Structure 1
Amino acid sequence: MKDLRIRAAGPEDLDTVLAFWKTAAEGTSISDDRDGVERLVARDPEALILAEQGGELVGTVIAGFDGWRCHLYRLAVHPGRRRRGIGSTLLAAAEERFVRLGGRRGDAMVLQRNETAHHAWRAAGYTPEEHWRRWVKPLAN
């Protein structure tokens, strides 16, 4: 992609990322606040990967690795920039990171209702595992 820059987010990017997710990401998470994203970047400075074009944030993905599993969250591309390879480029960067860290398989959190995302993930080689169900318990208000 012409002039697409992929890099890890720094503390100075967090407000921009949070605003970007309100436009580009589907759904919300309990961690979608300044404290949550600050903790992520402080704990794993390479986990939040950004795509920039012309100095503008156009995409994100969180590539978290806990030493056991590789988790993908918040793959989001600006609605006006979709279907141009930005998401694929972000996923490739995330997968390269996982391989470098010794990861063996990536998994993604994808909303059931987000059919557009289902197509994108399938095109990237990911498949749903219907025999799994996510179980959650909020630990904070």
Structure 2
Amino acid sequence: MSDLRIRAATPDDLDTVLAFWKTAAEGTSISDDRAGVERLVGRDPEALILAEQHGEQGAELVGTVIAGFDGWRCHLYRLAVHPQHRRQGVGSALLTAAEERFVRLGGRRGDAMVLTRNETAHHAWRAAGYTPEENWRRWVKPFGD
């Protein structure tokens, strides 16, 4: 029987995480590159949380979430679970770890970036107690090229 473990990512995990997101994450982000994830982990070493399945074959990355706290708001990004490990509690374990981190840091409410078209994610977020806030719209402006 395998064992699920939750831990913060280290710089040694970043290539594995980026490859994992290509399989498990819906959509891409302007920051989905080595430099972007290095900045995240360098600035906040506990923000990128990993779920690993440990078994006879060693550790396998099965889920991620970014739990960023800027001192004011608690932001959740990149909740991704490997398709073969969905509906097994991995996402719930990651969100519990993220929420515990936020509470420890003084956070009061989490908000999640969820793609409008990702209906599977909508069900997962609702099951975790999150609801859409329809009166807000995300506005973005990329910097640089």
Asked if TM exceeds 0.5, the reply is yes
TM-score, length-scaled by structure 2: 0.96
Q: Which runs of 4+ in 1 moved over 2 A?
A: none
TM-score, length-scaled by structure 1: 0.98
SS across alignment from 1:20: helix
The corresponding residue for 2:9 is 9
**Residue-pair matches, total:** 141
SS across alignment from 2:65: strand
Task: Quote the Cα distance in structure 2 between the aligned partners of 1:24 and 1:2.
Answer: 20
- Which residue type is aligned with residue 120 of structure 1? A
Task: Quote the Cα distance in structure 1 between the aligned partners of 2:25 and 2:133.
Answer: 22
Alpha-carbon deviation of 1:140? 2.3
Identity of aligned residues (%): 87
1:89-128 → structure 2 map (5 Å cutoff)? 89-128=93-132
Gaps in structure 2 of 5+ consecutive residues? none
Task: Quote the Cα distance in structure 2 between the aligned partners of 1:136 and 1:107.
Answer: 16
Alpha-carbon deviation of 1:2? 5.3
The corresponding residue for 1:62 is 66
Q: Does 1:53 align with 2:57?
A: no
Task: Quote the Cα distance in structure 2 between the aligned partners of 1:74 and 1:92.
Answer: 15
SS across alignment from 1:107: strand
What CA deviation, in whole Å up to 9, does each residue of 1:77-129 have, x standing for no partner? 00000000000000000000000000000000000000000000000000000
What CA deviation, in whole Å up to 9, does each residue of 1:55-95 have, x standing for no partner? 00000000000000000000000000000000000000000
SS across alignment from 2:103: helix
Gaps in structure 1 of 5+ consecutive residues? none
1:66-77 → structure 2 map (5 Å cutoff)? 66-77=70-81
- Aligned-pair RMSD on alpha carbons? 1.0
